[in-house]
Amino acid sequence: MEHTRYIDKETKKWYRTFAWSSGPDGGTFELIGYYDKNTSNRITLTGKELDERFDKAPWPPAIVELEEVKPRHPIKIVLRCPECGSVLETDGSAYLTCPLKYEHTCSNPDCKYEKCTKSYYSGMICLLTDEQEEKIKNGTYNEFDDGRLIKIKEADLWKFNC
């Protein structure tokens, strides 16, 4: 729910909506006093009381700045079995950890190799920096320290402009 800011006409302290309900009488509104971040400072008013006591004062839109970032380039990550060289496959599911983990098995039916990876999976197409690529290759990539990989669809590769 988007919160609306209200300013008390008398005290000039501001509040924001916490909850509201509509009804034949115009409804009731519950406001939280945020001028001092004290969430225990709640008041309940009717719609008429709200209009009499408060001025609606929505926040102005955020200032949008576009900043340049380190260039990223597309890459497809392919994991291979260290025992037979076949491609590792994932069934498309992920463990809901932070970062996500992906279970892989060897595509060779005679090989029983299994490996769980964090943050990326075999066959993933993503945008990454040169530093991220190097860390993935040498096994030191850490999503928290090195930044999240931006996953893209293969169809988006043809729209991607370097």
Q: What is the predicted pLDDT for the residue at 142? A: 93
Phi, psi of 73 (to 5 degrees): -130, 150
Q: Which residues contact 129 (CB under 8 A, 6 or more apart)?
A: 70, 71, 72, 147
Q: What is the predicted pLDDT for the residue at 48? A: 78
Domain housing 136: 73-157
Same domain, residue pair 48 and 19: yes
Residue 110 Cα distances to 16, 54, 62, 107, 124, angstroms: 63, 73, 58, 9, 25
User: How crowded is residue 30: how many other Cβ atoms within 10 Å of its Cβ?
Assistant: 14
β-strands 88-90, 54-56: how paired? unpaired
Report whether pLDDT(40) > 70.
no
Same domain, residue pair 79 and 122: yes
pLDDT digits 0-9 by tens, 114-145: 999 999 999 999 988 889 999 999 989 999 99
Of 9-18, 42-51, 62-71, which has the strongest mean pLDDT?
9-18
pLDDT digits 0-9 by tens, 75-106: 899 999 999 999 999 988 899 999 999 999 99
Same domain, residue pair 21 and 84: no
